[in-house]
Structure 1
Amino acid sequence: MDMDLTRRTLIAGSALAATLPLGAAAAAPIERFPIWPGSPPGGEGLSVRDETVRRSVNGPADDIAWPHVATPMLNVVPATQPNGGAILYVPGGGYARVAVGREGSGIARAFAARGFTVFELLYRLPRDGWAAGPDVSLQDAQRAMRLIRAGAGKWRIDPARVAAMGFSAGGHLTARLASRAALRTYDPVDAADAQSARPIVAGLFFPVITMADPVAHAASKRELLGSDASPARIARFSAENDLPADMPPTLVAHAADDPVVSPGNSLAMFAALQAARIPSELHIFEKGGHGLPLKEAGRDHPWPALFERFARNHGM
């Protein structure tokens, strides 16, 4: 196990500085800590170890992904000038890995430069055999939201102003966090678990949503559901189904030319949000592939400002 995952650490975020928006390059160090006091729930009899891989041979040292996660963590990227708002950032990886580093991503730094304290989540994966199965990642997302609110005083945030945004498979997890915040996925372990897990606003970016063919992202479906892809299981883990009346206002964004996750996922989610009369907004950009950049043709891409605007319109 990576020994720095067993204690709180402060590490500089210099590796990504050259790629960040103006104002973010001089960002403060970040804090990292495990989200569970001791072993996470449902790991009895498992021998999971934290493992990382480089995402590209010539990329920055912190451009890593985790194919196995034993110690779920939060990276705390502090706001440059705090406005009291906070964002839980849920990265993707197709439920086969979690694409997040240790030093704070460019997206997290960009939102920190906008005044938000950003909490990046390293979550466990169903593939490792945890007792909760496909709900294991949701356990970690719920726990993370509760810890953020419980530590609001420490981080100088308003516990009523905590949003969540997820990317790719992280969009699926964020959609489930937003719609299943009240689902009891684990027994409380401390006082933090008395806090609400519901984000005030959700942002879903090029998200995996449905488990139903032909729109489903096959790799995420395989990793999440395994060999049991029964109709009932597909319906339960399709994030567009059974949206509750208290689903948070939700913004959905996708690139029309995404070759990995069909934009049909975002269309299905937006249709479900509208049918449930949830305040919602949809943006389909012409280009972007599987991802929306911070910069396009030398200018700021509009999606961060669109999400900030939407979030502020709904209580952030």
Structure 2
Amino acid sequence: MTSIVTNLGAMAAVQQLRLIGASRLESQQQVATGYRVESAKDNTAYWSIATTMRSDGKALAAAEDSLGLGAAVVGVAYSSMNFAVGVVDEIKAKLVSARERGVNLAKVNAEIVELRNELYSIADSSSFNGENWLRRSSPADDVDKQMVGSFNRDANSNVAVTSLTYSFANAQGTNHLIDDVDGKGILTSPQYARELGTDTEWVLMKGRQSVGQIEFTLNQSTTTADIDEMISVTDRMLLAMTDVASNLGSMVSRIKLQENFVIDLQDSQARGVGRLVDADLNAASARLRAVETQGKLANQALSIANASPLAMLPLLT
């Protein structure tokens, strides 16, 4: 039935144009922004998940930065401790050579003094971002060092920051190489001599502030028994330094592994977010081309529908 009052064909064409316009707008938005879900109105559940994961990604990026800083601090301490082990090993060799007959003990002592100064230089230089793990300048330096390890969210959406901890405490007092306060450092502690039961509480060095320790000194009055005691104490110190270097090396490796894990976790989260909210640009472009074609056809259909009542005019004349 043809009606000049109600043009059903035109109404259907207009309705189709509205649907095509909405579809075109959606496809244009996806092509322009690259997102299938850009805001909560597009898909509440996916948008909520993606927003939370993006927030966690920023927290993981901050954890990665903290790990990088921690790696630098630990790396400096590790390298310096390794170098110090070599210097103390050289001092041990000098002491062994001092056991030979006819050796000028004063010259050997002068060499040991220079090596001792080198140890001071190593300890002084082992600082990064204001932190020095080889030198104890105050009791505050005994506090365990905490480094951000990662950011975690459990199944109940509870969040937590995990930490990596390095402790300075050991049986002799502290893992610091040199102690300028009260003789707790590896090279400044008389505890090793006490453990060996030597007649003298030898230390390799006193630290900047002497607290009464008896520093290794070779002169013509030094006995072979004294030298033997110095060698034994030095050996114990080397063992302690080796343990510290091993712990620092393990921490360097752990931080590197944690860095790689955090980076992989960020990538995984980014891929997960992408699967939820990113648009398939190929498909979106194809849909946009299709709806543009549909729009042209709908406009033609509307033109035909609007022209239909005009066909009745010849019947009325």
TM-score over 0.5 (shorter chain): no
Larger Rg: 2
TM-score when normalising by structure 2: 0.23
Tell me which protein shows more helix as a share of its residues.
2
Higher relative contact order (CA 8 A, sep 6+): 2
